[in-house]
């Protein structure tokens, strides 16, 4: 009996098994600790110079310098302002437009192939267009980041319209639902169920463009943001500061994901009924 109690739970090893909330947190913490230990061991074994690949301790000591001398918090908040502005702007236009295109076969036929191609366009090629279109510098940066999400969120929304379950449509037709009733009681709830998680998955795209966006400036030298800080730190031989900036971005991303999960829970509570948290 004592031996059985010491055995690990079999559900930990089930294919696509579910862990309890406390277990998830425990393994998340364990994975983070293992990652930092592996990082430290690699630096020690390879004897890599700090100027090439700093240790976790080197990165940790870079935070006070970034905070007190380079306004880390202020620059992070500025980057968050740009990114969240880009997310909101992309969602504001992409979701209604994608919903409409997904419902209208003519609109889809006229735009679907073109939209698929735009996803492959290097956004940097269009920098001049954004500079010409927007006089406000922050607005230009926000719309630049929004464009990176828009070209993916729009076809994703269209796809979500297609994924509306046939059983719901059949039930609505059986009840003689009108066109507007089909839209607002079947298609709209189906898209709403998934779209918040879609935005969550696509939102990191704007972070990959953050350094480029923050480099766009009408005033020479007037550059702000944590992406810019990370870029210059890496360029001028301060990888400890660059990695410290990346860790801050990772933390912001984690908090953002949790916020999206909370928003999804508030709007689509029926999805979470019966789930273990």
Mean pLDDT within 74-78: 94
Confidence of residue 3 (pLDDT cuts 50, 70, 90): very low
Please give the tally of structural domains in the chain.
Answer: 1
Q: Is residue 203 part of a domain?
A: yes
Q: Is residue 142 part of a domain?
A: yes
Is the Cβ–Cβ distance between 146 and 211 less than 8 Å?
no
Domain around 103: 46-270
Give the predicted TM-score (pTM) of the model. Answer: 0.84
Helical H segments across the chain, by residue range: 2-6, 21-46, 56-70, 72-103, 105-118, 127-133, 137-162, 166-174, 179-182, 188-202, 204-208, 210-215, 226-235, 239-267
CATH classification at residue 226: 1.10.3720.10
Instruction: Please write the tens of the pLDDT for every residue from 90-147.
Output: 999 999 999 999 999 999 989 888 888 888 888 888 888 888 888 888 999 999 999 9
Confidence of residue 249 (pLDDT cuts 50, 70, 90): very high
Q: Is residue 113 part of a domain?
A: yes
Question: How many angstroms separate the Cα of 12 from the Cα of each of 6, 16, 275, 277?
Answer: 14, 9, 17, 16
- Per-residue pLDDT, 173: 85
Query: How far is 124 from 134, CA to CA, in rounded Å?
Result: 16
Q: Is residue 165 part of a domain?
A: yes
Q: Is residue 23 part of a domain?
A: no
**Exposed / middle / buried, residue 201 (Cβ in 10 Å: 0-12, 13-18, 19+):** middle
Query: How far is 189 from 172, CA to CA, in rounded Å?
Result: 13
**DSSP conformational letter for 8:** P
Instruction: Please write the tens of the pLDDT for every residue from 202-217.
Output: 888 888 888 888 888 7
- Per-residue pLDDT, 222: 58
Q: Is residue 211 part of a domain?
A: yes
Confidence of residue 248 (pLDDT cuts 50, 70, 90): very high
Q: Is residue 12 part of a domain?
A: no
Mean pLDDT within 11-35: 84
Confidence of residue 269 (pLDDT cuts 50, 70, 90): confident
Q: Is residue 276 part of a domain?
A: no
Confidence of residue 219 (pLDDT cuts 50, 70, 90): low
- Sequence-distant (≥ 6) Cβ neighbours of residue 261 within 8 angstroms: 200
């Amino acid at each position: 009996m004592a031996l059985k109690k010491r055995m690990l739970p079999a559900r930990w090893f089930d294919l696509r098994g579910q862990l309890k909330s406390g277990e998830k947190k425990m393994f998340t913490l364990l994975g983070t600790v293992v990652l930092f230990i592996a990082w430290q061991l690699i630096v020690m074994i390879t004897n890599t110079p700090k100027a090439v690949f700093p240790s976790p301790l080197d990165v940790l000591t870079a935070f006070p310098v970034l905070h007190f001398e380079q306004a880390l918090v202020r620059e992070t908040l500025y980057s968050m302002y740009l990114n969240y502005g880009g997310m909101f702007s992309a969602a504001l236009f992409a979701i209604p437009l994608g919903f409409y295109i997904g419902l209208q076969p003519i609109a889809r036929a006229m735009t679907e192939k073109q939209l698929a191609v735009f996803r492959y366009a290097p956004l940097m090629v269009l920098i001049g267009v954004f500079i010409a279109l927007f006089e406000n510098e922050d607005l230009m940066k926000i719309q630049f980041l929004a464009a990176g999400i828009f070209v993916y969120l729009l076809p994703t929304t269209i796809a979500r319209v297609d994924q509306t379950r046939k059983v719901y449509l059949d039930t609505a037709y059986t009840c003689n639902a009108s066109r507007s009733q089909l839209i607002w009681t079947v298609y709209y709830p189906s898209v709403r169920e998934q779209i918040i998680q879609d935005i969550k998955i696509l939102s990191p795209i704007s972070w990959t463009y953050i350094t480029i966006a923050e480099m766009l400036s009408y005033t020479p030298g007037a550059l702000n943001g944590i992406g810019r800080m990370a870029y210059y730190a890496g360029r001028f031989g301060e990888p400890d500061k660059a990695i410290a900036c990346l860790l801050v971005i990772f933390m912001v991303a984690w908090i953002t994901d949790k916020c999206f999960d909370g928003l999804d829970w508030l709007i689509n509570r029926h999805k979470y009924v019966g789930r273990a948290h």
